[in-house]
Each structure stands twice: as C-alpha cells, then as structure tokens.
Structure 1
Amino acid sequence: MISDLVKPLHGIDWNNTERVRDVSATVLDRLADDRARLRRLVERLPQDERLCALSEHYDILDKLVLHDDPAGWRLRLHVFLPGYFDRPHNHRWTYSSRILRGSYRHTLYGLDDDLDENTDIASLQPYMVRTEKAGDSYTLHHGMIHAAVAKPHTVTLIVRGPAMKERFLVADRGTGKSWWQYGAAKESSEEADSKRMTAAQMGHAIRGLAEHAVI
C-alpha cells in the first residue's frame, strides 16, 4: 500500500535539510491530496501490532505511526489535543511536516549547540515566529530549537527521519525547568508503558480524524 511512496526516501542524507524537504514533500503531498489512501493507512493501524506498539498518547498530543521503515524513518500523524502549549525543545531527528487541519504558532529559537538542562529558558531568543496552517509544510533540522502553541485538534502529517542523537531537551517556560528525554532504547518499561497508546485511545483518535474530515 505504501511501497511506491517510500522508495524516494531510501538512501537520503537526513542532515541535508534541503534534500529531505524536496524528497519528503512527494510523500506528504501525495497523501494530503489522496485522503482515501491516507484513510486506508489509518484504518489498518489497529490490526498492526508493531505500529500500535509505536503509537503514543500524551495528555496534549497523540502520535499515530502509519509506517515504520527499516531504513529508520517513520510516517506519523500528530493530533494536538486541547491545552497544547509552548515547550521549547530540540529533536533527535530531522523531520518534515504537512499541516492537514488547524494551525499553530511556531517559534524558532536557533541551534541547540549550547542547550542543556542548565539553560535559562527565559533567555531563549525567538528568531522567527510564524503561523503554520492547513496546507503549509516545512522541514526542520534536528539541531533547531523550536516550540508550538496549537489550536485544539490540529493535525499534521510527519515524515520523521532516523535518530541522529540519543536524547533531546524539553523546557517548560511555566516552571523554568528542563529535562532530557531519550529514545526507546534507553527508556524503562514503565516509561514506555505510560505513553503507549491503548486500543481505546487509538479508537478515539481515529474517530476524531474522521469527525474532523481529515480522513
């Protein structure tokens, strides 16, 4: 169902942001324009144990994994839930995003060269503030610090590249605290279980996508 889409993403340099943008745009645009195909990918998800195990639910965000490629990249749907707020962070991987529904205020703070848990969050300088809305797309290098404030039930389609580092930093402006988060290989079973999406949560997320005419 997806083999013809994923072929262009094999063998690319995920540190080459421009190349990632050009190639991943073909995947994102085709699925955004073919909602019937996107719907089929979503509807098969509950029957795929591996993809279910990779999908995650947080208090402010759902992540549905539609494809986990042997080359290390993934295709995901992100659903921003009510209350999603500004948490500056970097990423372990470069990614491309296409906004399918809703919008969010997107702030770019610069590179993460000196970012650590002792960084004064209040001192982070916004270098670009823009609104990402339905139909927009962008590619972000894993070295960029950014944050988003999303309208409830905003939905984005993501091509997430292979991990380029073992951890990333999340900062909370409200408390001034920041902390490292690690990939699955370094998580405890309790941490993994706490965010793994249940069948009920997945069913609710999929119904929401249909109700909001995303699929």
Structure 2
Amino acid sequence: MVNTASRTCQRNVLDYLSANYLDWGANFEDSAAMARDMLARITSEKGWIAALFSHAENEPLLRQKAETHQLLDYVVLYDALDRGIRLRLHLSTEDHLQRPHDHRFDFSTRILCGSYEHCLISPRQDPYSLSSEEHAIAYQDKDHPDPRVKLKNSDFREMIVRHVSAGSTLSLSNKAVHTVNTAANTASLVLRGPARKVRSMIYDRAEETLWWRFSAEKEAPSRRQAKVMSNDKLQRTKRQFEQLGLFDL
C-alpha cells in the first residue's frame, strides 16, 4: 500500500512538472512569479518532496548532479532546462560565510525550514571587466583565485537586507549580486532556469579574493569529481532532510 501510494505520488508530481514551461529569457518577472507558484504547489502537496527525492536518488543522471560545497549541499530533484525548470533541494552546512556572488541563471526559492539574512550587493566596479572569460576559466576555486581581480571589501556595498524565514519566497536575476547568511539547518527548494551567461563570480571577504564558476562541462575533471556528492554523503543528507521533517510535507 505504501509503495503504491508512493508511486502514485511520484507520478503526480512528475506529471505536474512536465506540464509546465518557464521562458526566463522572455520575461524574468513573469517566470519568477510562476516559479514561486510552482514551489508553493509542490510544498503544499503532501509527499511530493519525498517522492521527488526518491526519484532523484534512483535516476542516474540526476544522481550525478547532486553536489556538496563549503556553504551548502544540494540534490537535483528534477531537470528539464529545455523547459526552463531545474528543481534543487538545498541544505546549508555549518559554515555561515557571507560571500558576495552572482549566478549564471535566474531562479526563485522557497525556504522550507530555518532562515537566512539576504543582502543585495552593489559592486563599485564590475568584476567581469577585470578578467576575460579566456583568462578566468583557469581560476575556479578558492585556492586558485583570479590574480587579475584585485577588489577590496569596500568595493562591495550592501544595499538591501532582508530576513527570510520558513515559508518565505524570493526571486533573483542572474544580474544580481548578493550574500546569504544562513542559520543552522536551513533548507530551501530552488527552481532555477537555464544558464543566461557563461560564468558567475564568488568573492571571499576574509581573503579579499575572487574566483569564477562555470558550467560542469567547462570544469576540470578533478574539480567536478570533488563536487559530486558521494553515496555516503547522500544518505547522510537524506537523513538530515528526514529529521527536519521535509519528507512529511
């Protein structure tokens, strides 16, 4: 009975997602609003998140997209970027560093539990103007920052600060620079669109250094291998989601 109910739940959520299309490039505001509505629907239907996680756990292509990072871990629950949809389940780590950064894509997110402080940033100088794409591709992690980008903390002005708690949603364009300071055990459901630019940047305030992020296809094999979540880590992350009650939604 449980297995039948679980399969039905999984079919329902996959059918729902397959019926949607978001054209982020045509209209960010409309697509972001539609994405927020989709996130609200997914979290309101009991068992949908658990069903999606089970789907991702057993689908090889999705399984390889699960990643672990210093500030967060995430599992890709659904991937259809040709229709403007990639759904990820995020979990913050114990590191709560505020690193100004942007994204290659537009996205909307819904906080499921915990909270964070969200701050929009206005750089005094465009980091992209300081380092070409051809040069930047060699500097893709904190241990190898881009030597051409010599920015100071004072070059990143904090503009708008917002406290985001469970049940809240927000959307962000790929053009925006921001920081996120998470509380412990903060989980969120993120619906992102396709990449709108080739690279994005991360700035470390402690070291006053900057490095770049590119698509998986442009990453060095060693870096890609280091990011992919191990089977053991996936099971530990799954238990954390269970303990936080996310699979009871």
Tell me which amino acid in the other structure corresponds to 2:31.
Answer: V
What is the TM-score with the length of structure 2 in the denominator? 0.81
Cα 1:118–1:6, aligned 2, differ >3 Å: closer, same or farther? Answer: farther
Gaps of at least 5 residues in structure 2 are 1-10, 129-148
Would the aligned equivalents of 1:20 and 1:139 in 2 still touch at CA under 8 Å?
Answer: no
* Aligned residue in 1 for 2:21: 9
Give CA deviations for 1:71-99 in whole Å, capped at 9, x if unaligned.
Answer: 15310011001112100001100000000
* Aligned residue in 1 for 2:151: 119
Cα 1:112–1:65, aligned 2, differ >3 Å: closer, same or farther? Answer: farther
Cα 1:112–1:102, aligned 2, differ >3 Å: closer, same or farther? Answer: farther
Question: Is residue 196 from structure 1 mapped to residue 228 from structure 2 by the alignment?
Answer: yes
Runs of 4+ in structure 1 off by over 2 angstroms are 5-10, 13-17, 110-113, 115-123
Question: Is residue 214 from structure 1 mapped to residue 246 from structure 2 by the alignment?
Answer: yes
Give CA deviations for 1:124-158 in whole Å, capped at 9, x if unaligned.
Answer: 11110011110000110000000101011100100
Aligned mate of 2:86, from 74, 86, 108: 74
Report the Cα offset of residue 35 of structure 1: 3.8
Question: Is residue 60 from structure 1 mapped to residue 38 from structure 2 by the alignment?
Answer: no
| Cα distance between partner residues in 2 of 1:185 and 1:20 | 26
| Cα distance between partner residues in 2 of 1:214 and 1:112 | 40
SS at structure 1 position matched to 2:157: coil
Larger CA Rg, structure 1 vs 2:
2
Would the aligned equivalents of 2:124 and 2:157 in 1 still touch at CA under 8 Å?
Answer: no
* Aligned residue in 2 for 1:108: 120
Gaps of at least 5 residues in structure 1 are none
Tell me which amino acid in the other structure corresponds to 1:61.
Answer: L
Tell me which amino acid in the other structure corresponds to 2:232.
Answer: A
Question: Is residue 24 from structure 1 mapped to residue 35 from structure 2 by the alignment?
Answer: yes
What is the TM-score with the length of structure 1 in the denominator? 0.93
Question: Is residue 88 from structure 1 mapped to residue 100 from structure 2 by the alignment?
Answer: yes
Report the more deviating stretch, 87-96 or 59-68.
59-68
| Cα distance between partner residues in 2 of 1:119 and 1:14 | 30
Aligned residues: 214
* Aligned residue in 2 for 1:141: 173
Cα 1:208–1:167, aligned 2, differ >3 Å: closer, same or farther? Answer: same
